[in-house]
Amino acid sequence: MMTSLDRISDLARPDLAARLQHRLDQKTKPQGSLGELETLALQIGLILQTDEPRLQQPQMVVFAGDHGLAARGVSAFPSDVTWQMVENFLSGGAAVSVLARQHGLALTVVDAGVARDIAPRDGLQIRKVAPGTVDCTQAPAMTRAQCEAALQAGAEVVSGLPGNALLIGEMGIGNTSSAALIMSRLTSIPLVQCVGRGTGLDQAGVARKLAVLDAALHRHAEVREPLAVLAAFGGFEMAMMCGAVLEAAAQNRVIVVDGFIASSAVLVAQALQPRVLQRCIFAHQSDESGHARMLAHMGVRGLLQLGLRLGEGSGAALAWPLLESACRILREMASFESAGVSQRDADASGA
């Protein structure tokens, strides 16, 4: 797995960046008037190493796993919801299923460690490391060997899928707790600023969740190395997402990151290899309270801010048309010269 770290090159290409910026500046518009869409076009061009980027065969991959920590009452929903939602994804009834159909995204669901066996069928990859992690207030959520197996499985999932764009999502009751623990340990942000309502806890529920997570954090007080942190607190679905992100980055795929949990997997990946972030586009800033701080720590911004906190990859799917639009602007929008449109008067100082 770690060999993928050596394959993640620096995408900095001053010549290509200048060519992309020149193309954007020569489009029939005031310079910079398409705002963040222009920034997005520039990033995608650098990821795909071309000034005429095309997004091909985009893959939405939803990783699912159960968490031993859920037994401590950190979620408003029971663990059975994990496997039930996997069935919902596969039958086409979940939000991400609807949005994937709408936007032409191939949807793959990965059983990374669901506590119940899911019947094999099209659209499902069974990569179960174990039927859920153990309670991380008592022991590491997974062994180092299990963590490495999950990372490798995530990389293999990506390698077996076509296309040049990967959208990542997840499902796992209790995984906002794991994400908050990983965030606090890797960023040194106080736990209270990382913990949110998750699936909809009330104030008392959040207080109970915080107490449980504080105990987990103290139980593993000496753990600092990124993969050890992932093994101590993470879920199998989060470890597989991390492996998928590392492999997608090594292959120079555009990586569209969903919300709080998906971002925590990227947080681990970029701790291992900072150049991962060059390939990542963060779909949105979720309503989970720690997400804004996590994005700020990584020095990135979410494209959308819609108060989302569903997960599943739903935010990534919603942001997808913006990526397609950014590419089309580069490829199809006329330049001043080709359209015969006069450019701004160099002597003008007004609007």
How do beta strands 59-65 and 165-171 pair? Answer: parallel
Rounded-to-integer distance, Cα 330 and Cα 325, Å: 9
- pLDDT, residue 344, reads 74
Q: Has residue 348 got a pLDDT over 80?
A: no
Rounded-to-integer distance, Cα 311 and Cα 14, Å: 36
What is the three-class DSSP state of 242?
A: helix
Average pLDDT over residues 318-338: 96
Question: pLDDT band for position 345 (50/70/90)?
Answer: low
- pLDDT, residue 235, reads 97
Give percent of the chain above pLDDT 70.
97
Question: pLDDT band for position 339 (50/70/90)?
Answer: confident
- pLDDT, residue 31, reads 95
How do beta strands 106-113 and 124-126 pair? Answer: parallel
Q: Are 62 and 110 in contact (CB under 8 A)?
A: yes
- pLDDT, residue 205, reads 84
Residue appearing with tokens 């997808």: 320
pLDDT (tens digit per residue) in 141-179: 999 999 999 999 999 999 999 999 999 999 999 999 999
Token pair listed for 250: 């090594």
Nearest C-alpha neighbor of 192 from the set 175, 204, 180: 180
- For residue 22, which amino acid is it? H
Rounded-to-integer distance, Cα 310 and Cα 287, Å: 9
Q: Are 198 and 76 in contact (CB under 8 A)?
A: yes
Is 38 a known active-site residue?
no
Rounded-to-integer distance, Cα 242 and Cα 230, Å: 9
Q: Are 60 and 317 in contact (CB under 8 A)?
A: yes
Residue appearing with tokens 């920590």: 69
pLDDT (tens digit per residue) in 42-86: 999 999 999 999 999 999 999 999 999 999 989 989 999 999 999
Domains and CATH numbers, the chain: 12-54+328-339 (1.10.1610.10), 59-320 (3.40.50.10210)
Alpha-helical segments (H) within the chain = 3-6, 14-25, 36-48, 80-91, 95-103, 144-159, 175-187, 203-219, 226-233, 236-250, 260-272, 291-298, 314-332, 336-339
How far is Cα of residue 142 from the mean position of the Cα atoms in its chain?
A: 21
- For residue 220, which amino acid is it? H
Q: What is the mean pLDDT of the chain?
A: 95
- Per annotation, catalytic residue among 237, 312, 324, 332: 312
The Cβ of residue 337 has, within 10 Å, a number of other Cβ atoms equal to 10
What pairs with residue 168 in β-bridges? Answer: 61, 257
Please list, in sequence order, all residues whose beta carbon lies within 8 angstroms of the beta carbon of residue 18, skipping any fewer than 6 positions away.
Answer: none
Average pLDDT over residues 124-146: 98
- pLDDT, residue 312, reads 97
Give percent of the chain above pLDDT 90.
90
What is the three-class DSSP state of 10?
A: coil
